[in-house]
Structure 1
Amino acid sequence: MHNILVSAYGCEPFVGSEAGVGWNWVLQMAKNNRLHVITRENNREKIEINLPVNLRKNIKFYYYDAPVYIRKLKRREKGLYLYYTIWQFNIIKIIRKIIETNDIDYTMHLSFGSFWMPTFLPFF
């Protein structure tokens, strides 16, 4: 069983697209690994209510959302991409803390990333 640090900007139960992909990957990987998952604070309630009991021991969630004044950026054209970049930059402190306090074997970025949108996990 490996310890895996996961960045999943989109991770929400019972939705489609990016958030559904993130959620389902986390559930599947937790069957055989211990996961430390960083995701959006606004998904906390749905995640905690719907997290299968048999996987709870294998998944630890860390939640983060940027301050409200930065979240307002998402309403502008292309603002979601700027917000996502800020979110990725701001979770670096969470990444460092997880790595310092846990024996992480791998890091993985699951959702909302592409070759032109940043994720900083490869640097850890």
Structure 2
Amino acid sequence: MSSLMNVLLSAYACLPDSGSEPGNGWNWAMHLAERGIKVTVLTRGEGREEIEAYQRDHPKSNVSFGYVTVPIKLFKPGSGIHYALWQMLSRWEWRRSSIDSNGSMWCIT
């Protein structure tokens, strides 16, 4: 059984080498991982290619990403409606994956 704490980090904006909100989401994930915590980040699918490219060059075994995309293109990313829909979809994703294969509950941030 793993001794690592599991943290599910909800980060609407999360990108490597970024400032502002995307950098904040990324830095939370990386700093938690540096403390030996197993981190799963739920973030928007729009940054997937950039995140995965960074992970290939800077692998961390205790950080993984799940991508949640709002399927409705009527709302501009970053708008209040888009954000609310993303939060709702993220909650469903969290419920689907909130218990790992060992039956351990995740810590939600």
TM-score (norm 2): 0.83
Q: In structure 1, the residue corresponding to 2:98 is in which secondary structure?
A: helix
Q: Report Cα offsets for 1:79-115 as digits up to 9, x if no partner.
A: 711110110011122101211335234111xxxxxxx
In structure 2, distance between residues paired with 1:5 and 1:11: 14
Q: In the alignment, does 2:29 pair up with 1:30?
A: no
Alignment partner, residue 99 of structure 1 = 98
Aligned to 2:83: 84
What's the CA shift string for 1:60-95, capped at 9, x where partnerless? Answer: 21101111xx333127xxx71111011001112210
User: 1:15 deviation in Å?
Assistant: 1.7
Task: Give yes or no for contact 1:5–1:104 (8 Å, CA) kept in 2.
Answer: no
Q: How many residues end up aligned between the 2 structures? A: 101
Q: Distance in 1 between matches of 2:107 and 2:42?
A: 14
Partner of 2:47: 43
Higher helix share: 1
Displaced runs of 4 or more, over 3 A: none
TM-score (norm 1): 0.73
Structure 1 unaligned blocks of 5 or more: 109-124
Equivalent residue letter for 2:15: E
Letter in 2 for 1:71: K
User: SS at 1:101's partner residue?
Assistant: coil
